[in-house]
Amino acid sequence: MDEQTASLIESHIAMQNVTVIGAGVIGISWIALFLARGLRVVVYDNAPNIEQRVISSIQAILPNIETVELPVSSLLKRLSFETDLARAVMSADVIQENGPDKINFKRKLWIEIERYAPQHALFLSSSSGIPTRIQASGMQRPGRLLIGHPFNPPHLIPLVEVVPHKRALPETTQRALSFYRMIGKQPILLRKEVPGFVANRLQAALMREALLLVKWDVVTVDELDEIVTRSLGLRWATGGPFVSFHMGGGPKGFTGFIDHFSWGMQLLWLQSKFSPVFFSTELKEKLLNQISASFGKKSLTELEADRDRCIIALQRTLDKVK
């Protein structure tokens, strides 16, 4: 057995007990995935009826996780709930935090967790809003905390953005990457911590333009969505923007793209820069009216079931083809 394999096995052994803090939409999806991958999960969330809500939600999710071969009832044996934070984290190898995005809440939480969690425990925050250098500011050993930011729904979308702050320990980062790979995710390590990280910044940039086009009455929300699924979505599910423009530039590749399209693109950026967009009362009303007239006619549960079915089928196809 080589050193790498040995250390891989060692780290897997040390990552069997996960504590999930906060069981909202994201937390529940993590719980289902962790259970499906054979881990023991302790849930800490003091909301009313939490046990019932978590169990019924994961019973709906589990059949969608491809590699689950065990009956749901046997997976549930590895799930427990704790209302006391100290007891919730005392045996944790990994803590995945999904609490509210409030600075003081998170700071206090990590100070408490650090008092009770084992020395080796890995601290991961799903937060998309609060950088870990801020979350960790009261900790004795801030180097063990970093961002493990999933993309909704975490049990289906492969990406996890792993974002260390400047004081994060390299070994913590490596263990976080191993952990997510072990449970079948496809983590990407960001080289710097920037607000919104990468996927959400890209999404926000596209959304700004989408809102502008709806505001200008060029399209309605459902027409815009159809344009995206029929073109960009299909393109970007198979290759990202850079390789796509590399192929769209003719025989000279990306150089050809710059030659032909950079000028026009810069003009669009300029025009867009001087076109204000914000969530005004008027725009909100227009959006909500258009949404209720189109896909808003289906329930969220139906829409989510359609989405999950499609994502699972696409992911299986991509796994086969790639």
- Of 212-271, which residues contact a copy of itself (CB under 8 A)? 213, 216-219, 221-248, 250-251, 253-255, 258, 262, 264-269, 271
Cβ of residue 251: shortest distance to a copy of itself, in angstroms? 7
User: x-or-dash pattern for a copy of itself, window 105-144, by CB under 8 A?
Assistant: -----------------------xx---------------
Please name the amino acid found at residue 154. Answer: P
Q: Which is nearer to a copy of itself, 141 or 316 (CB)?
A: 316
Cβ of residue 32: shortest distance to a copy of itself, in angstroms? 17
Q: Which is nearer to a copy of itself, 86 or 205 (CB)?
A: 205
Q: Which of residues 12-41 bind a copy of itself (CB under 8 A)?
A: 24-25
Q: Which is nearer to a copy of itself, 1 or 274 (CB)?
A: 274
- Member of 152, 155, 165, 179 binding a copy of itself (CB under 8 A): 152
Q: Which of residues 159-198 bind a copy of itself (CB under 8 A)?
A: 159, 161, 186, 188, 190-192, 194-196, 198
- Member of 272, 286, 293, 297 binding a copy of itself (CB under 8 A): 272
- Member of 59, 138, 151, 178 binding a copy of itself (CB under 8 A): 151
Size of the site for a copy of itself (CB under 8 A): 106
Using alpha carbons only, how large is the chain's radius of gyration in Å?
A: 22
Q: What is the 3-state secondary structure (H, E, C) of the chain?
A: CCHHHHHHHHHHHCCCEEEEECCCHHHHHHHHHHHHCCCEEEEECCCCCHHHHHHHHHHHHHHHCCCCCCCHHHHHCCEEECCCHHHHHCCCCEEEECCCCCHHHHHHHHHHHHHHCCCCCEEEECCCCCCHHHHCCCCCCHHHEEEEEECCCCCCCCEEEEECCCCCCHHHHHHHHHHHHHCCCEEEECCCCCCCCCHHHHHHHHHHHHHHHHHCCCCCHHHHHHHHHHCHHHHHHHCCHHHHHHHHCHHHCHHHHHHHHHHHHHHHHHHHHCCCCCCCHHHHHHHHHHHHHCHHHCCHHHHHHHHHHHHHHHHHHHHHHC
Cβ of residue 210: shortest distance to a copy of itself, in angstroms? 5
Q: Which of residues 287-316 bind a copy of itself (CB under 8 A)?
A: 287-288, 291, 295-296, 300, 303-304, 306-307, 309-311, 313-316
Cβ of residue 29: shortest distance to a copy of itself, in angstroms? 12
Please tell me whether residue 86 binds a copy of itself under the rule CB under 8 A: no
Q: Which is nearer to a copy of itself, 90 or 228 (CB)?
A: 228
Q: Which is nearer to a copy of itself, 63 or 239 (CB)?
A: 239
Cβ contacts of residue 103 below 8 Å, gap of 6+?
A: 130, 134, 135
